[in-house]
């Protein structure tokens, strides 16, 4: 074996020497040419293998990606809701500021913190201002650009409760905008609508007219918008006529309001 090793080493040295002497050039070219087709074939297979592996390794984890997108979507939806609320709040405050810039009323901005009273089926809202803020029963709640929403009926420390316009207990003296001689009383009706009642038959009352507070009631200034006349009910043998009022705001949507203080 030792002899074989020596012979092999010698052969290797000879081959290397021959290469650098340029003797084996044609042989190397021949080997390269003969093997080239096989190498090309395997090279293609190798590339495909490499691409398959790379695509496998770099393939995103779609499940994790979907989960991440779902979480992000939920977060964005929550953000969007918050932004919508802020936008709405901003719009409301702007309208109310616009309203108060035209009138010399004392005011207190309040947030609606509760709505409805399921146990008594009353149409009420709870606001985050109370006795210490100067609130007292009978004061009007105003939304947007001077829209009458309801009346405070109970005041506690830190909070107050108010009837909204559709509650039967909510009554306010009203008239037709621009024609205040047409007077009456707006009363809530079954928690669903409001009715402009006790309007004398001899007073004109037409659909589409705007009903506003008349100011005859202490604590409630004149000119707060209640709604528009939707349908007039007039009986010839009746002393008074009445009309269904369509509120100027969706009462279920109001969140930021103001209370007109005395």
- Give me the residues that bind other proteins (CB under 8 A), please: 1, 4-5, 8-9, 11-12, 15-16, 19-20, 28, 31-32, 35, 38-39, 41-43, 45-47, 49-50, 53, 57
Instruction: Compare residues 45 and 66 and give the one whose CB is closer to other proteins.
Output: 45
Instruction: Compare residues 31 and 83 and give the one whose CB is closer to other proteins.
Output: 31
Smallest gap from Cβ 34 to other proteins, in A, equals: 9
Q: If we measure between CA atoms, which residue out of 157, 107, 108 comes closest to residue 132?
A: 157
90 dihedral zone (left: phi>0; alpha: psi -120 to 50; beta): alpha
Partners of 103 in the β-ladder? none
Q: How many helices (H) and strands (E) does the chain have?
A: 3, 12
Instruction: Compare residues 33 and 250 and give the one whose CB is closer to other proteins.
Output: 33
Smallest gap from Cβ 31 to other proteins, in A, equals: 6
Smallest gap from Cβ 64 to other proteins, in A, equals: 22
Smallest gap from Cβ 70 to other proteins, in A, equals: 32
Smallest gap from Cβ 30 to other proteins, in A, equals: 10
Instruction: Compare residues 57 and 239 and give the one whose CB is closer to other proteins.
Output: 57
Enumerate long-range contacts of 149-155, CB under 8 Å, 24 or more apart.
149/125, 149/249, 149/251, 149/254, 149/257, 150/124, 150/125, 150/251, 151/220, 152/127, 152/259, 153/124, 155/130, 155/131
Distance CA 225, CA 202 (A): 23
Instruction: Compare residues 9 and 81 and give the one whose CB is closer to other proteins.
Output: 9
């Amino acid at each position: 074996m030792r002899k074989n090793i020596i012979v092999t080493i010698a052969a290797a040295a000879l081959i290397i020497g021959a290469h650098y002497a340029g003797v084996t050039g044609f042989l190397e070219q021949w080997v390269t040419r003969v093997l080239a087709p096989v190498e090309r074939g395997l090279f293609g297979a190798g590339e495909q293998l490499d691409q398959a592996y790379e695509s496998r390794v770099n393939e995103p984890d779609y499940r994790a990606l979907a989960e991440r997108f779902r979480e992000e979507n939920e977060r964005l939806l929550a953000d969007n809701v918050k932004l919508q609320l802020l936008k709405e709040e901003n719009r409301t405050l702007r309208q109310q500021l616009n309203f108060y810039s035209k009138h010399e009323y004392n005011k207190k901005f309040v947030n609606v913190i509760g709505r409805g009273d399921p146990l008594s089926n009353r149409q009420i809202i709870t606001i985050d201002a109370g006795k210490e803020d100067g609130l007292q029963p009978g004061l009007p709640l105003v939304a947007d650009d001077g829209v009458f929403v309801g009346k405070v009926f109970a005041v506690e420390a830190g909070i107050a409760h108010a009837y909204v316009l559709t509650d039967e207990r909510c009554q306010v003296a009203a008239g037709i905008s621009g024609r205040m001689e047409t007077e009456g009383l707006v009363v809530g009706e079954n928690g669903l609508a409001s009715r402009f009642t006790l309007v004398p038959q001899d007073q004109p009352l037409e659909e589409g007219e705007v009903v506003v507070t008349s100011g005859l009631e202490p604590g409630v200034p004149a000119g707060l918008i209640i709604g528009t006349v939707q349908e007039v009910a007039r009986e010839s043998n009746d002393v008074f006529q009445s009309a269904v009022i369509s509120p100027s705001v969706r009462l279920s949507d109001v969140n930021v309001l103001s209370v007109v203080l005395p």
